[in-house]
Amino acid sequence: MGEYITSIDLGTSKVCVIIGQIDRNGQLQIVGVGNCPCEGIKKGVVVDIESTSNAINYALEQAENMADAEVFDTYVNIPGGYTKLIRNKGIIAVSGEDREINYDDVKRVLNSATIISMPQDQQIIDIIPIQYIIDGYDEIKDPIGMVGIRLEADVDIVIGSSTTILNAVKSVNGAGLEVLGIVPEPFALSESVLSKDERELGALVIDIGAGTSDFSLFKNGQLIYNNLIPIAGNHITNDISVGLRISYNESENIKKKFGIAYTPLASDKNVFDINPIGINEKVCISELKLSEIIEARVGEAFELINTELIRQGVKQEILTGIVLTGGGTSNFLGIKELANEIFNLPVRIGKPKYIGVNDPIYSSGVGLINYSLKRKFNYYVEYNNLEVRKGKKNRKNSSSSISSFFKKIWEEYF
C-alpha cells in the first residue's frame, strides 16, 4: 500500500476528514472517515478558528482510528463562490542546449503566467494549465520531453480572498496538520461526481450545503462559470421552525425524516406529531404541509440559480444536465423532479463511488483527494507570517512551529 493522502472538507454545519490510500493496483481506497459538527464556520467562511480547529481535531481522530494510521498533512477546500478565475498566458525560451523541455521549463512558464494585477486582499491559490504551445503548435497537454525553442502556456489562475484562505489554513494548523494545498470546491466536485463526458459536453453541478449552495458549470473539461447563493439546508430548517412553531432541532429532525421537496409526491393522509412551542400537547402535521414549506425554499434556490445562468448567458452550455450533490438537501425525495421542472434539464444525484463514502455529503472530501492525485503538478503555497506545524507529533511543542514566506513548490506526485 502507498502513502496516505488526506482531505478536509470545511462545511458550514460540519467538518469532514477523509483519508485515502493507493493500493497495489494503483487504485484509490478510502481507509478513514471522520465527521464532527462545527459552529466555527458560517457560509463557508471560518469565523472562529479555535472552534474549527477543535472540530477538525475530533474528526481527524475518528478518521485516523478507522485507518489505523497517523497523518500529518492535508488538502483543504474553499467554496467556489469565493474564488475567481483569471485567464492568462506565460511565455519562455526553452533553456536546455538540446532544446528538450523539462520540468524546470514547465515550472518557469507557469510561474511567468502568474505576473498579473490583482487586488491587495487577493492571492493566487492555484494555476490550472489549459494548453501548452510549442513554437506555435497548440493543444499540447504535456510538453515534457518534447523539443522546441519557445514554450507558451494558457492557464487559468485561481485567486481568492487572503483572509478567507489564511483563516482556513490557520484552523487546520491548529489541529497539527500542514496544508499542502487549497482546492476550490468546484474542481474537487468535478472529480467526484462528474464523468469525463459530462465535463467535456457541459454539465452543471449544484452543491447544496448547510449555509450556501454553490453551482459550477463545466465544459470542454474546464470550469467556465461558478457562483453561489446564500440559500441552503439551514434556511429550510429555519423555515420549518418558523412555519410550524417548533424548535430548530426538531425542525432539522423532521426535515431529514419526513422531508419531500416536490409536493405532488407528498400526501395529506400521511401525518406525524410535532411539539409546537408554547403548547403542552402534540399536534398532528401532514406530510403535504411540510412539503409545501420545503418546496417553497428549495424552489426559490433553484429559480435564483436558473435566473443567474440565463442572465450570464451560459445556460445553453449545459448539454448533459444537472448533478445535485452535498448534504443540505440533495437526498430529499422529489428534489430531482423539482429541479427538472424548474431547469427543464435532466437531473441526477451525484455521489462518490467508494465503499463507506457513497453519500453526497462526502462528494467534496473525496473529490479533494481525486483532484490532488490527478494533478501532475501541484501548486503549493506556504503562507507568510503564519505558524505551520509539521504534523501532530509536534503539536504540543510550540517551539516546533515555523514561519515562512510565500514560496511556490512544484513536484510530481508519483
User: Tell me: the pLDDT tens digits for 338-396?
Assistant: 999 999 999 999 999 998 899 999 999 999 999 988 875 554 333 333 344 444 544 44
- Look at residue 287 and tell me whether its pLDDT is greater than 50: yes
**DSSP characters for 206-263?**
EEE-SS-EEEEEEETTEEEEEEEES-SHHHHHHHHHHHHT--HHHHHHHHHHH-BS-G
120 pLDDT band, cuts 50/70/90, is confident
84-93, 160-169, 244-253, 386-395: least confident range:
386-395
In this prediction, residues 172-201 reach a mean pLDDT of 93
Question: How far is 133 from 139, CA to CA, in rounded Å?
Answer: 7
Element (H, E) at 85: strand 83-93
The neighbour count for residue 368, using CB atoms within 10 Å, is 30
Q: Residues of CATH 3.30.420.40 domain(s) within the chain? A: 4-81+163-187+359-404
**Coil/strand/helix, residue 177:** coil
Residue 69 has a pLDDT of 93
Strand order of the β-sheet with 73-78 is 28-37, 14-22, 4-10, 73-78, 178-184
Question: How far is 111 from 92, CA to CA, in rounded Å?
Answer: 10
In this prediction, residues 189-198 reach a mean pLDDT of 94
In this prediction, residues 15-30 reach a mean pLDDT of 91
**Residue 101 falls in which region: left (phi positive, over 0), alpha (psi -120 to 50) or beta:** beta
Which CATH number does the domain 82-161 belong to among 1.10.3720.10, 1.20.210.10, 3.30.1490.110, 1.10.3080.10? 3.30.1490.110
Question: How buried is 247 (Cβ within 10 angstroms: 0-12 exposed, 13-18 middle, 19+ buried)?
Answer: middle
Give backbone dihedrals phi and psi of 228, rounded to 5 degrees, phi first: -145, 160
Question: How buried is 88 (Cβ within 10 angstroms: 0-12 exposed, 13-18 middle, 19+ buried)?
Answer: middle
CA distances from 95 to 35, 92, 108, 140 (A): 49, 9, 10, 19
**Residues of the chain above pLDDT 90, percent:** 66
Residue 347 has a pLDDT of 96
- Look at residue 398 and tell me whether its pLDDT is greater than 60: no
Q: How far is CA 221 from the centre of its chain?
A: 17
Model pTM? 0.86
In this prediction, residues 199-205 reach a mean pLDDT of 96
Question: How far is 189 from 329, CA to CA, in rounded Å?
Answer: 16
Residue 206 has a pLDDT of 96
Question: How far is 119 from 314, CA to CA, in rounded Å?
Answer: 27
Residue 64 has a pLDDT of 96
Residue of 122, 149, 152 whose CA lies nearest to 140: 152
Residue of 226, 132, 109, 127 whose CA lies nearest to 181: 127
Give backbone dihedrals phi and psi of 130, rounded to 5 degrees, phi first: -95, -50
Q: Residues of CATH 3.30.1490.110 domain(s) within the chain? A: 82-161
- Tell me the residue length of the chain: 414
Tell me the CATH number for domain 4-81+163-187+359-404: 3.30.420.40
1 pLDDT band, cuts 50/70/90, is low
59 pLDDT band, cuts 50/70/90, is very high
**Coil/strand/helix, residue 190:** helix
CA distances from 40 to 7, 43, 44, 363 (A): 18, 10, 10, 21
CA distances from 356 to 9, 31, 125, 267 (A): 16, 9, 30, 33
Q: Which residue has the cell 483563516?
A: 167
* Strand 203-208 with 321-325, pairing: parallel
Q: Which residue has the cell 409546537?
A: 276
2 pLDDT band, cuts 50/70/90, is low
Residue 383 has a pLDDT of 33
* Strand 122-134 with 137-140, pairing: antiparallel
Contact 226, 81 (CB under 8 A): yes
Residue 321 has a pLDDT of 96
